[in-house]
Amino acid sequence: MIRSRVLAHGLLLVLSAAPCFGATPSPGEQRMRAAIDADQPHAIALLEKLVNQNSGSLNIPGVTAVGGMVRAELEPLGFDVQWIDMRATGRAGHLVATHAGNGRGKRILMIGHLDTVFEPDSTFQRFVRDGERATGPGIADDKGGVVIIIAALRAMHAAGTLRDADIKVVLTGDEESAGTPLEAARADLVAAGKWADVALEYEELIVRDGRDYATVARRGVTDWELTTTGITGHSGGVFGDALGYGANYELVRILDAFRRELPEPNLTVNVGLMLGGTPATLDPGGARGSAAGKTNIVAAEAVARGDMRTFSAAQEARARAKMQAIVDAHLPKTDATLAFDDSYPAMAPTAGNRALLALLNQVNADLGLPAMGEWDPAKRGAADSSFVAADADVLAGLGAAGTGAHAVGETLDLASIPRQALRSAVLIERLSRTPR
């Protein structure tokens, strides 16, 4: 928290010194705008190439291939590009690219991901363009964001503004389905966050009613699994002293209590999968299972899986305690256990994050672009940026504008690529000239 306050103070000093940048873009910023406009055909061609290479999280060769495509873009710009093999976690790996500047300005981390939710067996596999819109698997989440990162850096290189900038790019290969254990899967990203002063995350841009929004806060997410057991037997004995209520009633009691007793602002608890019977078992991975039973048999086993999304570590701890207390109040002749998986931490709306948005809005004003508001964190999912939020000031949602993420027909607004690349290039250039 001390570091965050220091960073916020430093960025606020930049804002108070706005006349040093002026209301008119500098010659370097004007060169970056021209470079981005001229480079749009390259950006669209790269987007098509990335989208047409399947990189579902479980497709290790595919994710590795996309990493190779990005390497080919960044190395000519002077980045030292490393591929971090993560097959020990069940996933392909991460790309980490470092540009060494003069060491005097803010150190900037750019975050995105190489993988998508669409595995090789999906029917949705190809890039299709229709005017200024295009569809394809992962086109907005997050291959459009990766293209914006590259477009911004190419513009800075062309304009001569990249030379002194200290930048690290981390593109994870398992954002949509993290490898295990999570601590190992995110160790390189966490280390990059400790190096950085500022982190910029290139997940999908939110656009509502024609206005662009930035993200200064995200909720964390924790998966949970609830297992209940009961005494099986003839249904004529249910509710009685010998059999009690059975596993299904205990499961329903607990889940209904979650619904009634847990809700509070920015907290949600979802039930994604339920099974109950004699027996009821989950398949490895927890996404499928099987159950058997008859109307005249009291259920012996039941299981439910879901997630909990919270605004802070304190809210998560409070919710966990409430959930456990509900679980412990068993119906007669039943038992239940509650287990939590590794968590994506929350990204709180700090003063430093808001100072970054204010600096971006100064950029917007100087470029003649509309100001961007704060997006409601309850309406955004968890993302990799949360893993660095404890160590750096973070601004998220700087990727491309799209619709239908995670669904067949996912669409991207191609006009958002140069707009977002220009915002990023100018913001990064100004941060790189801001003393640490």
Q: Which domains does the chain have, with CATH numbers?
A: 2-218+347-432 (3.40.630.10), 220-344 (3.30.70.360)
As a whole number of Å, the CA-based R_g of the chain is: 24
C-alpha distances in Å from residue 179, one per residue of 60, 161, 188, 409: 12, 36, 13, 27
Confidence at residue 7, expressed as pLDDT on a 0 to 100 scale: 53
Predicted confidence (pLDDT) at residue 223 exceeds the cutoff of 50: yes
Confidence at residue 19, expressed as pLDDT on a 0 to 100 scale: 35
Compute the mean pLDDT over every residue in the chain, rounded to the nearest whole number.
Answer: 94
Q: Which amino acid is at 133?
A: R
Are the CB atoms for 298 and 235 separated by under 8 Å?
Answer: yes
Predicted confidence (pLDDT) at residue 211 exceeds the cutoff of 50: yes
Confidence at residue 8, expressed as pLDDT on a 0 to 100 scale: 52
CA 40 to CA 418: how far, in whole Å?
7
Cα Dmax for the chain: 84
313 against 330, higher pLDDT: 330
CA 404 to CA 139: how far, in whole Å?
10
Confidence at residue 408, expressed as pLDDT on a 0 to 100 scale: 97
Confidence at residue 24, expressed as pLDDT on a 0 to 100 scale: 72
Confidence at residue 16, expressed as pLDDT on a 0 to 100 scale: 39
pTM (2 d.p.) = 0.87
- Helix orientation angle between 40-52 and 416-432, rounded to the nearest 10 degrees: 110
Q: HEC states along the chain?
A: CHHHHHHHHHHHHHHHCHHHCCCCCCHHHHHHHHHHHHCHHHHHHHHHHHHHCCCECCCHHHHHHHHHHHHHHHHHHCCEEEEEECHHHCCCEEEEEEECCCCCECEEEEEEECCECCCCCCCCCCCEEECCEEECCCHHHHHHHHHHHHHHHHHHHHHCCCCCCEEEEEEECCCCCCCCCHHHHCHHHHHHHHHCCEEEECCCEEEECCEEEEECCECEEEEEEEEEEECCCEHHHCCCCCCCCHHHHHHHHHHHHHHHHCCECCEEEEEEEEEEECCEEECCCCCCEEECCCCCECCCEEEEEEEEEECCHHHHHHHHHHHHHHHHCCCCCEEEEEEEEEEECCECCCHHHHHHHHHHHHHHHHHCCCCCEECCHHHCCCCHHHHHCCCCEEEECCCCEEECCCCCCCEEECCHHHHHHHHHHHHHHHHHCCEC
Which whole number is the average pLDDT over 365-383? 92
Percent of all residues in the chain with a pLDDT value above 90, rounded to a whole number = 90
Confidence at residue 23, expressed as pLDDT on a 0 to 100 scale: 55
Confidence at residue 11, expressed as pLDDT on a 0 to 100 scale: 56
- Residues whose CB is less than 8 angstroms from the CB of residue 284 and which lie 6 or more positions away in sequence, other chains included: none
Confidence at residue 52, expressed as pLDDT on a 0 to 100 scale: 98
Confidence at residue 322, expressed as pLDDT on a 0 to 100 scale: 98
Using the Cα atoms of residue 83, residue 85, residue 91 and residue 96 in order, give the sign of their dihedral. negative
Are the CB atoms for 79 and 169 separated by under 8 Å?
Answer: yes
Predicted confidence (pLDDT) at residue 17 exceeds the cutoff of 80: no
Burial class (CB in 10 A: 0-12, 13-18, 19+), 399: buried
pLDDT in tens, 82-120: 999 999 999 999 999 999 999 999 999 999 999 999 999
Are the CB atoms for 170 and 109 separated by under 8 Å?
Answer: yes
Structure tokens at 321: 């305690």
Confidence at residue 378, expressed as pLDDT on a 0 to 100 scale: 86
Sheet containing 301-310: order of strands: 268-277, 301-310, 220-230, 334-344
The total number of residues shown for the chain amounts to 436
Percent of all residues in the chain with a pLDDT value above 70, rounded to a whole number = 95
Which whole number is the average pLDDT over 354-382? 94
C-alpha distances in Å from residue 112, one per residue of 29, 168, 204, 366, 406: 24, 11, 10, 26, 16
